[in-house]
Structure 1
Amino acid sequence: MYHEYKPNHLPKGFHYLLILPMGAQWSKQIDRQKAVIAEKKILRELQERCGSDYPGSSWHPTDRKNWMSGLDPKKAHINQIVWPGTHNSATNKIGIKIITRPFAQCQSLSVYQQLVCGARVLDIRVEETGKVCHGILTTYGIDVVIEDVKRFVSETESEIVILEIRTEVGRKDPPGFEKYLWEQLGELLIQQDDNVFEKTIAEILPRRVICVWKPRRSPEVKDKSPFWSSGYLRDNWIDTDLPATKFESNMKYLSQQQPVTTRKYFYRVENTVTPQSDNPVMCVKAVTNRIHGYGRLFISQCFQQNCENRLQIFSIDFIDEDFVDACVGLTCARIDGKT
């Protein structure tokens, strides 16, 4: 309900409408900021109290571009790997610089640069024209992503990449997309097969790319296809900008999964939080930084809560070397039998 308010200091006959719901909205934003501050404190204190050490946490690869080669491909099984991933991977040039980009950019590196840094799982969103998008904003075409993946694969020998491509929410599928992907990646594709999870990297080579295709309206990928269907890459993403809420949700859903040695699908945990429309802070980087530095803490807490053997894909916004090292270190500890 709207009420007319007449301040005494205004000229006679001047009418000023005060919309009371605006006051309620302002109060809500203040409460939200208090909640953010409180939740950041929860994670900070958890880290101070429990630390971020775990088996393999001190390990650092000498060559992140070739870290899978450094594991000994004959010993490293696919289901032992903790895969560093990127969220909304192809958004480094999305939108208009300074104007719209800060509201949709989740990575500052190109797809190729992310792979060189150590990322091995890519999250790509497309729309019907074949452009990559995030929400309503678009960027370069999917061909740029494919060329980056092919370039990286050509420069390495034993690195396996999980390439997830999905049609963005509210968008239409690109026509003839499976045919396009086959023409571009055919000789590199690791065919959909439940037995892949138990194989070593060496047993899969020279095939290098697990391509998960998730259309919205087109038929699901068929069994025994060169592509992997949506059921092979799962997660329990929640839409929140509250870091402790996301941290705890990630732990809860991870603990409900089967151990990596017994399940026949990849499960992803995203160390990210998302801007909300009812909060004045809308830039992705400012918001996701609330949880960004707690990747090692999450892994450490997985050991504390006895669900380390369930962690598999761990992804992040604005990937960095330390996050990659955290995942690879745990991978090495698994292969060496230290977990």
Structure 2
Amino acid sequence: MGSTVSTQVQKRKALSTEKKVLCDLNQSCGCDFPSSDYRPPDRKAWMAGLGPEKLHVNKIVWPGTHDSATNKIGIPFVSRPFAQCQSLSIYRQLVLGTRVLDIRVQEDRKVCHGILVTYSVDVVIRDIKKFLSETEKEIVILEIRTEFGHPDPLDFDKYLVDQLGEFLIHQDDHVFGKTIEELLPRRIICIWKPRKSPHLKAGDPLWSAGYLKDNWIDTDLPSTKFDSNIKHLCDQPPVSSRKYFYRVENTVTPKADNPVLCVKPVTGRIHEYARLFISQCFAKGCADRLQVLSTDFIDEDFVDACVGLTHARIEGKA
């Protein structure tokens, strides 16, 4: 009993120290970066607003959501707080400016997060189609993976192609150097990550798992995650020469050996530091590597930060 209490005391001290590290860094260094004051006039159509003819895929800083389809997961006030990472529907996230979606499915094609389940993936597809019908020049990266511990849904690749075929941008390394205008009228880069990898090749309508990479650090300590994100980003080649998307997740996650297990208060420890992260990328010399930035509980300011840096890149300011 005594050792358990001592361990918890040490963990609380570590958390307090790490929160102070980020707070002090924010106060001393600030969170300014090129075009950090830019605000898109219409977040629903921010790509169109920046000019699709000059917006190259590899210059975009893509705002993404982590565990995107968890707004209605589990039982309200009972299990939902332990697995909900977004409060908005997929459609509302896209309208807000999200352009990378992280969807996990189980064998019956229902979206899940661990052992908790929510609506069918059909709801996700319907929301994406609704958004695409209301916009003309927005591109979405849709990552769908089989959740850990589950078998792949039967014929799921065929399902995705049947549902999204007319919108799918086919797997092609040349896409990274193209503008949004050159990809239209196709609108979705769909990356399918099954447990048993299919044989996908250049020209296929779906993209292989290796086209969206990250270095996930499973921690609830904000400064540890922040520093790890910087370190791994520095290890990547610049976006100008990269033939895959690299994601940084501005999130921390609850740990079973800590008393706070609800997602929102835990991820809130790092949530406000997205702009600080971007500014530190410039300070550390790795801003030219930043590409996909994801978060829990996405908000307008997070989207604006990503769009602002994208604006700076196409204007030659970053």
Residue of structure 1 equivalent to 2:182: 203
Cα pair distance change 1:252/1:220, threshold 3 Å: farther
**C-alpha deviations, 1:295-316, integer Å up to 9, x for none?**
0000000000110000000000
- Is contact 2:171-2:201 (8 Å) kept? no
Q: Does 1:73 align with 2:52?
A: yes
What is the CA-CA distance between 1:27 and the residue it aligns to? 1.6
Q: Does 1:180 align with 2:163?
A: no
- Is contact 2:70-2:84 (8 Å) kept? yes
Residue of structure 2 equivalent to 1:260: 239
Residue of structure 2 equivalent to 1:114: 93
Matches within 5 A, 1:98-247: 98-247=77-226
Residue of structure 1 equivalent to 2:252: 273
Helix, strand or coil for the counterpart of 1:68? helix
- Is contact 2:34-2:309 (8 Å) kept? yes
| CA distance in structure 1 between the partners assigned to 2:314 and 2:244 by the alignment | 20
2:291 to 312, 328, 333: 312
| CA distance in structure 2 between the partners assigned to 1:276 and 1:26 by the alignment | 16
TM-score by length of 1: 0.93
Give the RMSD, CA atoms, in angstroms.
0.7
Number of residue pairs aligned between Structure 1 and Structure 2: 318
2:29 to 32, 50, 67: 50
Residue of structure 1 equivalent to 2:71: 92
Helix, strand or coil for the counterpart of 1:287? helix
Residue of structure 2 equivalent to 1:13: none
**C-alpha deviations, 1:208-235, integer Å up to 9, x for none?**
0000000002535333210010110000
TM-score by length of 2: 0.99
What is the CA-CA distance between 1:33 and the residue it aligns to? 1.1
Q: Does 1:248 align with 2:227?
A: yes
- Is contact 1:55-1:338 (8 Å) kept? yes
| CA distance in structure 2 between the partners assigned to 1:299 and 1:206 by the alignment | 31
| CA distance in structure 2 between the partners assigned to 1:218 and 1:210 by the alignment | 18
| CA distance in structure 2 between the partners assigned to 1:216 and 1:40 by the alignment | 36
Helix, strand or coil for the counterpart of 1:90? coil
Question: After TM superposition, where is structure 1 displaced by more than 6 Å over at least 4 residues in a row?
Answer: none
Helix, strand or coil for the counterpart of 1:67? helix
Equivalent AA in structure 2 for residue 97 of structure 1: P
Helix, strand or coil for the counterpart of 1:140? strand
Residue of structure 2 equivalent to 1:38: 17
Q: In structure 2, list runs of 5 or more residues that go unmatched.
A: none
| CA distance in structure 2 between the partners assigned to 1:321 and 1:225 by the alignment | 34
Helix, strand or coil for the counterpart of 1:125? strand
| CA distance in structure 2 between the partners assigned to 1:124 and 1:317 by the alignment | 13
What is the CA-CA distance between 1:175 and the residue it aligns to? 0.2
- Is contact 2:73-2:117 (8 Å) kept? yes
Please tell me whether Structure 1 or Structure 2 has the larger radius of gyration of its CA atoms: 1
| CA distance in structure 2 between the partners assigned to 1:112 and 1:27 by the alignment | 46
| CA distance in structure 2 between the partners assigned to 1:277 and 1:222 by the alignment | 40
